[in-house]
Structure 1
């Protein structure tokens, strides 16, 4: 039985990005993605799990995030029995404050990378990464004017001048 536990602790999966980069990751790290978990649960028969909607650059960042967060959850119940030694060491050294600091640094990226991370988090269905990246984008947009948001998302203003003035009068705080 301990051999089986050791095999589970070191089981690796190979992920293939949309631009054909291969990444070997611990199963516990990969299973933070509900998309990957469902593929495995459905008896995925291939040696490589294809992730065509994520580039290698972004997938490497997602893996970095998942490794840190997999380590942070290692101390709870039976989950710790399936962690690799590296993950267990990381788990014992990662406090809540360390994880918050990691997350804050993780999303200090340019706008395009942030949006790519949002798309990857959604495609891979990693709830904590979605929450982090969505909140970062929302915080970023709070600081922008309506015109800056329109420019950022390439949104055409289809209001007439009269309609826009009326909206500004009804909701002045939205146009700060």
Structure 2
């Protein structure tokens, strides 16, 4: 990118500031909307109260990488490189970090990254028990033991072949 590229400063919820190129910041739908609505926006850092520095750093890296890929050929080699990068981003994250990143990405409205993270979450809950999914998303069981037993008996097929839970 050129040396005279416009820089935008973003401030995370834990008060860390990130100076990014305008092109990267415009990958965030929330920031793009902010500038569309505030044409005379000042040069003050933009506060992102729902995004930690850890998540913001990851999202910025993702956007920079994918911007770079989009500027290249749209060959299958580039698509494979993007898939490998995305897998390397999601696979090592624990469930809590993945959900935190999904919430931050949703807040910032980075659609492609959110789709990729949501797929990662879907892959993690595929063929998992109800208890695992409840724990993952912090959902309280509001069925009585009798209601749950009745539900399990009525939909027995849905509980067959479920993978063992892992923490």
Q: TM-score, normalised by structure 2?
A: 0.82
Displacement, 1:158?
Answer: 2.2
The structure richer in helix per residue is 1
Displacement, 1:174?
Answer: 2.8
Of the three residues 15, 23, 28, the one matched with 2:23 is 28
> What's the counterpart of residue 156 of structure 2?
172
> What's the counterpart of residue 55 of structure 1?
52
Structure 1 distance, partners of 2:137, 2:101, is 16
> What's the counterpart of residue 84 of structure 2?
101
Show structure 2 runs of 5+ residues with no match.
163-167
Query: Partner of 2:14: helix, strand, or coil?
Result: coil
Query: Partner of 2:50: helix, strand, or coil?
Result: coil
Aligned: 1:74 with 2:82: no
Question: Root-mean-square deviation (CA), in Å?
Answer: 2.4
> What's the counterpart of residue 120 of structure 1?
104
Q: Note the 1:141-152 alignment, pairs <5 A.
A: 141-152=125-136
Displacement, 1:7?
Answer: 7.0
What do the CA deviations read for 1:70-93 (whole angstroms, capped 9, x no partner)? 1122248xxxxxxxxxxxxxx99x
Structure 2 distance, partners of 1:36, 1:174, is 42
> What's the counterpart of residue 82 of structure 1?
none
Aligned: 1:132 with 2:116: yes
Q: TM-score, normalised by structure 1?
A: 0.78
Q: Is the 8 A contact 2:12 2:48 kept in 1?
A: yes
Q: Is the 8 A contact 2:9 2:19 kept in 1?
A: yes
Give the number of equivalent residue pairs: 156
